[in-house]
Structure 1
């Protein structure tokens, strides 16, 4: 398991992308342009910071391509590109 504060790569699921885009749209409807960025799509991979480790799952804050972040709780490690999972960065 990654340590708290470490960076992993997280791949968005269909639900993640829909949640992100809906949140951005909801704020635009009320006239707030709080978040700016490209539309989130399933399968996109972004860096994420581990905020909690619980057994074989981790909560991560995903740094999106824009001005906002996405909290993805209780996500497990997966294979690179597997939607809704994170992978540890290779050691250099």
Structure 2
């Protein structure tokens, strides 16, 4: 994950892909969501764990909060997770820019 600080990073914009690190609350909510179904087909995905990093798309930004965004986190399976009001940083429950290679 990127180690650049928010002051030197570009501002997030809708449609950009970032990395998101799951928190314990996220894992609980994703596992609860696993009980639901989509059109008769249950949720099929790999297990998730605290601290795992997944790609996520920025779906909303907030004026005056340059690094706080809403995200659709792409899980490994047929579902995603809506992570709301998440800030940039290295901790669980935060997003970061992917490392450029």
Specify the TM-score bucket, using the shorter chain as the normaliser.
0.7 to 0.9
Q: Say if 1:77 and 1:86, in contact at 8 Å, map to a contact too.
A: yes
Correspondence for 2:29: 19
Larger displacement relative to structure 2 (32-41 or 82-91): 32-41
Moved over 3 A (4+): none
Q: Which runs of 5 or more residues in structure 2 are unaligned?
A: 1-10
Correspondence for 1:75: 86
In the TM superposition, residue 33 of structure 1 has moved relative to its aligned partner by 4.2
Greater percentage in helix: 1
In structure 2, the residue corresponding to 1:84 is in which secondary structure? Answer: coil
CA–CA distance in 1 between the matches of 2:15 and 2:68?
14
User: Cα RMSD over matched residues?
Assistant: 1.5
TM-score, reference length from structure 1: 0.84
Correspondence for 1:63: 74
Q: Which runs of 5 or more residues in structure 1 are unaligned?
A: none
In structure 1, the residue corresponding to 2:42 is in which secondary structure? Answer: coil
Larger displacement relative to structure 2 (32-41 or 48-57): 32-41
In structure 2, the residue corresponding to 1:20 is in which secondary structure? Answer: helix
